[in-house]
Amino acid sequence: MTAQQTELQNLPSDLKRELLPKHVAVIMDGNGRWAKRQGLPRIMGHKRGVDALKDLLRCCKDWGIQALTAYAFSTENWKRPQEEVDFLMTLFQRVLRQELREMVEENVQIQFVGNLGALPRSLQAEISRSMAETSHNQAIRFTVATNYGGRQEILQACRAIAHKVQQGLIQPDQIDEQLFERHLYTAGITDPDLLIRTSGEMRLSNFLLWQMAYGEIYITDALWPDFDRTEFYRALCAYQQRERRFGTV
Ligand code: FPP
């Protein structure tokens, strides 16, 4: 931790605790560009990206934010070079194995959302273990979107509801927002209040399409491995300036 970051151990005094987002989501973009700038292979950017994510999780916990969701792997990311996909799958598995003890000690509840059945078996096993061992933890809810796509999530919810209608378990008139949300991967998780995207791209990239209906979006030019407590502080300052109206005047 740098000297400046040590200073940011506690919630900075100019941030209002009552106006903190309850749930922050992140699109961790720019790992490849970060690595290229350092003259390193792309995969080194992902390795450093894990460190940035760990720091952010700790920071959210220190500052009293209840939930963090990170977009680790999209349904489109399979189109990357096989070598990079393999590296990422192995990285997720290794990080999960290495960090599980600490997550248990730190009272972190980890969960995964996405089409998890299409992931390598060994990764699925690690995911199940980490979710089971942290399921009663309460300090912070950490959700990792892996093989996740917002459109696919909405489609699978539609399919599940259609089957229930076909079986006579649900009447079409009963389909409302609450019922629909219970069929999303994120059932039971509150919608994000703030979505942060790094590396300057201004897109949702198929992330939390339903859940971000009223969420605030903050874009920073910082590349993900450089996203630290100072950057997070800036994002929260910007968020606290926003007037959230949820469609009212
Ligand atoms: C986007 O940068 C980043 C990813 C697709 C991977 C993000 C994954 C991690 C940081 C690891 C998280 C680990 C766990 C266990 C949750 P990019 O490759 O698109 O960068 P570029 O746009 O500069 O090419």
CATH number for the domain including 131? 3.40.1180.10
By the 8 A CB rule, do 120 and 90 touch? no
154 shares a domain with 138: no
Nearest CA to ligand 1 atom 1: 29
User: Has residue 1 been placed in a domain?
Assistant: no
35 shares a domain with 102: yes
User: Has residue 85 been placed in a domain?
Assistant: yes
Q: Rounded to the nearest 5°, which phi and psi values hold at 90?
A: -65, -40
155 shares a domain with 143: no
- What is the C-alpha end-to-end distance of the chain, expressed in Å? 43
222 shares a domain with 210: yes
Q: Which two tokens stand for residue 55?
A: 């720091």
What pLDDT is stored for residue 1 in this prediction?
56
d(CA 146, CA 127): 10
Q: Is 137 a catalytic residue?
A: no
User: Has residue 8 been placed in a domain?
Assistant: no
142 shares a domain with 46: yes
By the 8 A CB rule, do 109 and 66 touch? no
By the 8 A CB rule, do 5 and 13 touch? no
Cβ of 33 below 6 Å from ligand 1:
yes
d(CA 92, CA 53): 12
User: Has residue 10 been placed in a domain?
Assistant: no
How far is ligand 1, taken at its centre, from the CA of residue 99, in Å? 18
How far is ligand 1, taken at its centre, from the CA of residue 92, in Å? 11
- The residues near 48 (Cβ < 8 Å, ≥ 6 apart) are 31, 34, 35, 225
134 shares a domain with 74: yes
Q: For the chain, percent helix, then strand, then coil, each to nearest 5? A: 50, 15, 35
User: Has residue 6 been placed in a domain?
Assistant: no
Q: Which domain holds residue 44?
A: 19-148+193-241
d(CA 234, CA 229): 9
- Specify the number of domains making up the chain: 2
Per-residue pLDDT of the chain (249 residues; tens, 9 = 90+): 565 656 688 999 999 999 999 999 999 999 999 999 999 999 999 999 999 999 999 999 999 999 999 999 999 999 999 999 999 999 999 999 999 999 999 999 999 999 999 999 999 999 999 999 999 999 999 999 999 999 999 999 999 999 999 999 999 999 999 999 999 999 999 999 999 999 999 999 999 999 999 999 999 999 999 999 999 999 999 999 998 777 787
Q: Is 51 a catalytic residue?
A: no
User: Has residue 2 been placed in a domain?
Assistant: no
User: Has residue 3 been placed in a domain?
Assistant: no
User: Has residue 128 been placed in a domain?
Assistant: yes
Of 55, 62, 77, 226, which residue is the catalytic one?
Answer: 77
133 shares a domain with 109: yes
